[in-house]
Amino acid sequence: MKLEKLNPSIKALTVLLCAILLSFQYLAVLNTAVFLTCLLLLIFCSKASLKTALQILIPAFIAALGLFFMGLYYARGSSLTDAELSGLTSLPYAVRAAMSTNLSAALQLATRLLAFAGLGVLFALTTDRELFLYSLVHQCRLPVGFAYGILAAVNLMPGMVREFRTVRLAFRVRGLRPGPFSLGPVFTMLVNSIRWSESVAMAMESKGFASDRPRSYYLRPRVRWYDWLFCLLSVGAILAGMLLLPK
């Protein structure tokens, strides 16, 4: 079964509960297991590309590496004994001293960030944004006007990117060289985006759109038994790891 078939609201609830549970524990093994499980689910139980997932996770890897070294030198705790450090005599004394006290805390910080990143990527790459909004309307009682406003804004984003490139090209045609942080193209793009948003609002009103009236829906997501099963298994696995894995 592919993760794309799961109800987006239940999937979001599952990811949120798992993230909350992970924030209350300090088990590097559990964090690593969650991260690897997310990658395995992306490979075998979804249509997402592993290459895309790894590209998105590059900033998370960099941040985790930074947290690891920060925790290694500045955190408190005790992770390695003197006997375990006897085989690391080739390392400088400062490094051995830091490892003897802070390695456990550093691993906890780094792996926790990776676990959160894995959960986020798992949800983002296996969830259709329109289906997610429809699910929020039907399962979470999100106001229809608010949901369609978000959907309209999301669909305008590609047009805003194209408009920004067109404006920068127009500046160069006139002999102007806007820098990477110049506000001129941005201001022009925002003005045109406001015009587009007004046109979208007028189009919705002309078609009789109203959020306070009964309406039919072309697509109505439903919650199936396997959605709750996925939620229970995911949350239960993390609870079991928190209880059974050695501290």
Instruction: Please check whether residue 52 lies inside any domain of the structure.
Output: yes
User: Tokens for 141?
Assistant: 């009682």
pTM for this entry: 0.78
Please check whether residues 51 and 157 belong to one and the same domain. no
Q: Looking at the structure, do residues 68 and 19 belong to the same domain, yes or no?
A: yes
Q: Is there a single domain that holds both residue 89 and residue 31?
A: yes
- Structure confidence by residue, pLDDT tens digits, 155-212: 888 888 888 888 888 888 888 777 777 777 888 888 887 888 788 778 777 767 766 6
Q: Where are the alpha helices (DSSP H) in 77-183?
A: 82-85, 93-125, 129-139, 144-173
Residue 5 banded pLDDT, cuts 50, 70, 90: very high
Residue 177, SS3 per DSSP: coil
- 137: in domain: no
Domain with 190, as residue range(s), is 144-206
Residues 35 and 153 occupy one common structural domain: no
Considering the domain boundaries, does residue 15 fall inside one?
yes
Residue 135 lies in a domain: no
Q: Is residue 214 part of a domain?
A: no
Domain count, the chain: 2
Do the domain assignments include residue 134? Answer: no
**Number of neighbouring beta carbons within 10 Å of residue 191:** 11
- 133 falls within a domain: no
Residue 153 to residue 148: CA distance in whole angstroms: 9
User: Does residue 55 sit in the same domain as residue 123?
Assistant: yes
Orientation of helix 93-125 relative to helix 28-44, angle to 10°: 40
> Does residue 75 share a domain with residue 51?
yes
CA–CA distance, 184 with 164 (Å, rounded to integer):
10
Same domain flag for 61 and 17: yes
Residue 48 lies in a domain: yes
Residues 20 and 109 in one domain: yes
Question: Please, what is the average pLDDT of the chain?
Answer: 82
